[in-house]
Amino acid sequence: MPGFASYPQLSFDEFVEALEQAVPSLPRQEAKLAQFVLLNLNTLGLETGKSLAARVGVSEVTVGRLLRRLGCNGMKELKELLRQQYTVASPAPEARQGVHRALEQVMEAEIGVVTAVFQQTTGADWERAGSLLSQSERIFITGFQSVRGIAEDFARRLSLARGNVSYLSPHDGMLAEWARIEGTTPGSDCLVLVDVVPYAREAIEVARLAREEERACIVVSDEYCHWSRGIADAVIYAPSRTGLFLESTVGISLALSLLVDAVAAAHPEESRERLLQWKAHAKRLRIF
Amino acid sequence: MPGFASYPQLSFDEFVEALEQAVPSLPRQEAKLAQFVLLNLNTLGLETGKSLAARVGVSEVTVGRLLRRLGCNGMKELKELLRQQYTVASPAPEARQGVHRALEQVMEAEIGVVTAVFQQTTGADWERAGSLLSQSERIFITGFQSVRGIAEDFARRLSLARGNVSYLSPHDGMLAEWARIEGTTPGSDCLVLVDVVPYAREAIEVARLAREEERACIVVSDEYCHWSRGIADAVIYAPSRTGLFLESTVGISLALSLLVDAVAAAHPEESRERLLQWKAHAKRLRIF
DNA sequence: CGCAAAATGAAAGAAAAATAACATTTGACA
DNA sequence: TGTCAAATGTTATTTTTCTTTCATTTTGCG
C-alpha cells in the first residue's frame, strides 16, 4: 500500500497536467468527465463529487475512479490540492530543504502571512495609513500585552524616519500626553494601535477616545480583529495563526517595517538626515 | 415557510457587502468569523462550514447562524452564490490585490528571510538553543536599541511556555539579577541576546560576562553579526537587509516565535497549563 | 459469435457535514 | 448584585457525500 500520507504527494498543477495527458487514453465516460473538469477548473472547488457526476452525466463512482487513476485519492484529497494551490505562496520548491518536517506547514503559513501583508500595500487602507503617518503633526503609538514591545520598537524606528513620534502607555502614563493643549489643531494627531488576540479591552477604549477627540487612528492587528473596522481610519491586517503555540508576530513586524519605510520614502531628505544624526549621537555616547 | 425558492435571492457581491456592513454591529464571535471570511474570500469556496468554524475557533453552529443572519440560507446556498459568481464572469477565481511595483523585490527578499530562518531549524545551533531554553533553570533575555521591544516581547511570550524567564536590562538594572547567589549552580542559567546592526557595544560585553560566569548564551542576530560565533553557545541568524529604509525585523520575530514554540513543544503539559492560567488571570483582571 | 477483460453503475454502508433543539454562558442594565 | 435577553456552545438528528462491493454492460479480439 503505497502512500500512507494523509497529505497529497501531488500538486494541483501536476494533477491538471496528468489530467490533460490522460484524456486521450481514457475510457469514454471518464474522458467526458475529464474534459468537463478541464473546462471548469475555475469552479472545481465548489463542486462536490456528486454534483460533478450529475453535471457530466456519469455516476458518482466514476468520479472517484478517475481521480484515483490520476493519483489523487478521492474528492477529499482534490480539495486539499486546491486549497494548497490557492492559498498562494508557493513555498519555493527547493527552499524547503532542511526544514524540519513538522514545520513545513508552518513555513507555508508564514510565507502566506508575508504575501498577505504585501498585498495590502496597494489597498486604500494602506494608502491612508501611509499619508497619516507622513503628514500628521504628532504620532502616538501604543500596543498591548504580547505586542507591546513591537509597538515600542516601531516608535523607535519611526523616530528615525520622522519627528514627533512617541510611545504612549495609556495605563502607566495616564494619557497625560493627551491633555488638550490650547492651540493644538484638532486633526493633526495620529494614533497607531497594535493589538492581537486576545484583544485588550483597553485598546478599544483608547481607539474610541481618539476618535472622539478627532485624532486619526490606525490599527494594526491580526485577521480576527473584530472591532477596528468602523472605529479606525485605516486598518491593516497581519495574519497570525500559523500553527504555533502562540500566534506569530511576523506579520505585525513586517507591516510595521513597511510602514516605516513608507514614511521614510515620503520624506527622503529628512529621514536620511535623521539616520545620520542618530548614528553620530550613538557614536558619541559610545553605544556601539 | 418563507423562502420557497431553491435558488438564492442574493448575489455573492451583495453578500460580501452585507458582510462588510455588518461586521461592526455583530456579536464578538460572529464578528471574528466575518472578519476571517472577508480576508479569505479567495479560498472560501474550498471551505466547509466545519473547517471555517475550526479555523476561526468558533462552533459550527455559529457559522450557520451568521450566514442566515446575512440572508444566506446556510453553507449550501453560499456555495451556490459562489458558483453563480464564478461561472458567470471572472476567468480567475479571485481578484487578487496586487503588490506595489516597487515592493516586489522587497517581498521576494522577505520571503527569503522566512525560508532562511526555517532552514536553520534543522541545524546544530537550533538544536542547542532549543534544549538550552527548555532545560536551563533560569532564562534571561535582553535586547538593544531597535530590537529591545522584540526581546521584551520574547520574554513575555516565553513566560507563557515556561517559568523563570526574565527580561534583563543591563543598563537600567545594573545586572543586579546576576549578583552571584550562594547555592546557584553554575551552568543552570541561560542568556538570550537579541542584537542587530549596528551592534551594541553592551551586547558583546554582556555576552563575555555571561561566558565567564558559566552562563550559557544564545545570540539571535542578523546576517552581519561578527562577534557572536566563538562567544555564544548557539547562534541564530535572521537576515535583515531586504531593501527597506531600516533593516527588517521579520526574521528576528520569526526566529523568536519558533523558539517559543519549540520550548512549548518540549513541555507540552506545562505550557498548556500556563496558557490557561494566564488567560484566567487576564480575565480576572479584566484585561480583555 | 463468444469469451474475457475492462468499464460502468446500482445499492448499501460508512463518514462527514449541516441543522435543530436544548443548555449554558455572557453581558447589559436596573 | 440579581435578572433577563442575547450569544454561544453541546448534543442529538437528519441530510449529504463519499466509498465499497458487486452485478451488469460494453468493448476488444480470436
- pLDDT tens digits, residue range B215-248? 999 999 988 787 888 889 999 999 998 999 999 9
What is the C-alpha separation between A94 and A181, in angstroms, rounded? 58
Same domain, residue pair B118 and B166: yes
Q: Name the band, by pLDDT with cuts 50, 70 and 90, for residue B1.
A: very low
User: Taking 90 as the threshold, does the pLDDT of residue B92 lie above it?
Assistant: no
> How many CB pairs below 8 Å do chains A and B form together?
247
Flag if B260 and A244 touch (Cβ within 8 Å).
Answer: yes
C-alpha cell at B84: 453563480
In whole numbers, what is the pLDDT of chain B averaged over residues?
A: 83
B113 vs B278, which has greater pLDDT? B113
Q: Is position A104 within any domain? A: no
CB atoms within 10 A of CB A38: 13
Phi/psi for A139 (5° steps) reads -120, 130
Same domain, residue pair A44 and A80: yes
Q: Is position B96 within any domain? A: no
Same domain, residue pair B263 and B157: yes
Q: Is position B94 within any domain? A: no
Q: Is position B1 within any domain? A: no
- pLDDT number for residue B42: 75
Same domain, residue pair B111 and B246: yes
DSSP B244-264: SSS---HHHHHHHHHHHHHHH
Amino acid at A32: K
- pLDDT number for residue A176: 64
**Domain C-terminal end among B88, B116, B134:** B88
Q: How confident is chain A (288 residues) per 10-residue block, as mean pLDDT?
A: 43 82 83 84 84 86 89 83 65 52 82 90 94 95 91 96 90 64 71 86 84 89 82 90 88 97 95 90 72
- pLDDT tens digits, residue range A51-89? 888 888 888 899 988 988 888 888 888 888 887 776 644
Q: Cβ of residue A74 near strand D, that is under 7 Å?
A: yes
Å separating the CA of residue B28 from the C1' of nucleotide C29: 19
Flag if B148 and A150 touch (Cβ within 8 Å).
Answer: no
Flag if B249 and A153 touch (Cβ within 8 Å).
Answer: yes
B15 vs B253, which has greater pLDDT? B253
Q: Is position B117 within any domain? A: yes
Same domain, residue pair B175 and B65: no
Q: Is position B4 within any domain? A: no
- CATH number of the domain where residue B20 is located: 1.10.10.10
Å separating the CA of residue A25 from the C1' of nucleotide C1: 28
Q: Is position A102 within any domain? A: no
- CATH number of the domain where residue B170 is located: 3.40.50.10490
The answer to whether A86 faces chain B, any CB pair under 8 Å, is yes
User: Taking 80 as the threshold, does the pLDDT of residue B279 lie above it?
Assistant: no
- pLDDT number for residue A152: 96
Q: Cβ of residue B271 near strand D, that is under 7 Å?
A: no
What single DSSP character describes residue B146?
Answer: G
**β partners of residue B234:** B218
Flag if B114 and A114 touch (Cβ within 8 Å).
Answer: yes
Whether residue A146 contacts residue A244, with contact meaning beta carbons closer than 8 Å, is answered with no
Same domain, residue pair B49 and B123: no
Same domain, residue pair A51 and A136: no
- pLDDT number for residue A173: 60
Q: Which of A 166-195 lie inside 8 A of B, CB atoms?
A: none
Structural domain count of chain A: 2
Same domain, residue pair A123 and A197: yes
Q: Domain containing A140: what range?
A: 111-284
Same domain, residue pair A75 and A127: no
SS3 content of chain A, % helix, strand, coil (to 5): 60, 10, 35
Q: Is position B149 within any domain? A: yes
Same domain, residue pair B68 and B108: no
Whether residue B110 contacts residue B250, with contact meaning beta carbons closer than 8 Å, is answered with yes
Residue A279 with chain B: CB contacts under 8 Å: 198
- pLDDT tens digits, residue range B120-143? 999 999 999 999 999 999 999 999
Residue A238 contacts by C-beta under 8 Å, 6 or more apart in sequence? A113, A116, A117, A220, A221, A222, A223, A250, A251, A252, A254, A255
Whether residue B246 contacts residue A157, with contact meaning beta carbons closer than 8 Å, is answered with yes
**Domain C-terminal end among A86, A102, A124:** A86
Residue B195 with chain A: CB contacts under 8 Å: none
**Which of A52, A87, A121, A235 to substitute to test the interface with B, most B CBs within 10 Å?**
A121
Provide the edge-to-edge strand list for the sheet that holds B165-167: B165-167, B138-143, B189-195, B216-221, B234-237
**β partners of residue A166:** A140
Residue B135 contacts by C-beta under 8 Å, 6 or more apart in sequence? none
Q: Which of A 206-235 lie inside 8 A of B, CB atoms?
A: 223-227, 229-231
Å separating the CA of residue B43 from the C1' of nucleotide D18: 22
